[in-house]
Amino acid sequence: MEAGLSKMSNDFIGQRDVANILSLKSHRLVEKILKNDETFPKPIVISERVKRWRHEDIINWVNSKFDEAKK
């Protein structure tokens, strides 16, 4: 893991940041992944329109997808 990623491991990130990590063109695609992939980390819901994810949870999910693809 890159040094910059481990430094942010306890930070909370928004939907746009999650989309950037996943290289998605639209942050709205995060909602689709959340609805369709049971393994995707659940956000902390602050209000109806505000959700936050732990950065570390998103990185771990991405790594698990890469591990699955290697099999």
Domain holding 41, by residue range, is 3-66
Structure confidence by residue, pLDDT tens digits, 39-69: 999 999 999 999 999 999 999 999 999 998 8
Q: What are the phi and psi torsion angles at 53 (to 5°)?
A: -120, 150
Residue 71 covered by a domain: no
The verdict on residue 35 lying in a domain is: yes
Q: Is the pLDDT of residue 2 over 50?
A: no
Contacts of 3 (CB under 8 A, 6+ apart): none
Looking at residue 68, its pLDDT comes to 87
Is residue 43 domain-resident?
Answer: yes
Residue in this structure with the two tokens 């998103």, named with its chain if needed = 58
How many domains are contained in the chain? 1
pTM of the model: 0.81
| Three-class SS state of 35 | helix
> Does residue 31 lie within any of the structural domains?
yes
